[in-house]
């Protein structure tokens, strides 16, 4: 039985930076963005509308998602981050977490969930994961992040 937590704790900024670092796929700048989304949300900064779901483990976070409404759209949500600690992968945790995240988005009247990800080889697990959960690839923008590193956009009608 997996327990999900949506309330933020003071330790979460560090915990998020740690798990995102441990995935091994994100740049230093991306890790700082992941951390700052937690800090901004905890600080209650105006304009920040990020929601979180955490799965706590014995040695810190086992997994988390960060998602929120896409400004200017009708009930469309973005999955900004999903990360499962490397030690906890391939055991269905990511699946349980994305399903819980989709439930949370539906409860907020969200009708679609989108995710942007890299086309690099080290994101093969992420892209396979999205496809396995019913996400359709809508776009592939070459060289978006940097030369040779494109962006794939996935979406799902909930």
Residue 74 or 86 with smaller CB distance to ligand COA: 86
**CB-count exposure of residue 97 (10 Å: 0-12, 13-18, 19+):** buried
Of 17, 31, 48, 93, the one binding ligand COA (CB under 6 A) is: 93
The bridge status of strand 112-118 relative to strand 76-84 is parallel
Distance CA 93, CA 102 (A): 14
42 interacts with ligand COA by CB under 6 A: no
Smallest distance from the beta carbon of 46 to ligand COA, in angstroms? 26
Sign of CA dihedral 52, 17, 27, 86: negative
Residue 13 or 114 with smaller CB distance to ligand COA: 114
Of 90, 107, 147, 148, the one binding ligand COA (CB under 6 A) is: 90
> How many C-beta atoms lie closer than 10 Å to residue 102's C-beta?
20
152 interacts with ligand COA by CB under 6 A: no
Distance CA 27, CA 21 (A): 8
Residue 125 or 150 with smaller CB distance to ligand COA: 125
134 interacts with ligand COA by CB under 6 A: no
Smallest distance from the beta carbon of 37 to ligand COA, in angstroms? 12
16 interacts with ligand COA by CB under 6 A: no
Residue 91 or 109 with smaller CB distance to ligand COA: 91
Sign of CA dihedral 144, 99, 72, 43: negative
The bridge status of strand 136-146 relative to strand 149-157 is antiparallel
The residues that touch ligand COA, with contacts defined as CB under 6 A, are: 23, 25, 81-84, 89-95, 117, 123, 125-126, 128-129, 132
């Amino acid at each position: 039985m997996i327990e999900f937590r949506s309330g933020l704790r003071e330790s979460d900024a560090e915990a998020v930076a740690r798990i995102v670092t441990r995935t091994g796929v994100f740049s230093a700048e991306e890790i700082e963005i992941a951390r700052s989304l937690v800090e901004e949300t905890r600080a209650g900064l105006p304009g920040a509308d990020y929601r979180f779901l955490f799965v706590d483990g014995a040695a810190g976070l086992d997994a988390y998602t960060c998602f929120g409404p896409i400004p200017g759209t009708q009930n469309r949500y973005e999955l900004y981050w999903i990360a499962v600690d490397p030690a906890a992968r391939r055991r269905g945790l990511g699946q349980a977490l994305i399903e819980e995240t989709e439930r949370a988005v539906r409860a907020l009247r969200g009708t679609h969930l989108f995710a942007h990800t890299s086309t690099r080889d080290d994101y093969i697990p992420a892209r396979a994961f999205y496809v396995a959960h019913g996400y359709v690839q809508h776009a592939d923008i070459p060289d978006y992040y940097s030369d040779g590193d494109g962006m794939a956009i996935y979406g799902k009608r909930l």
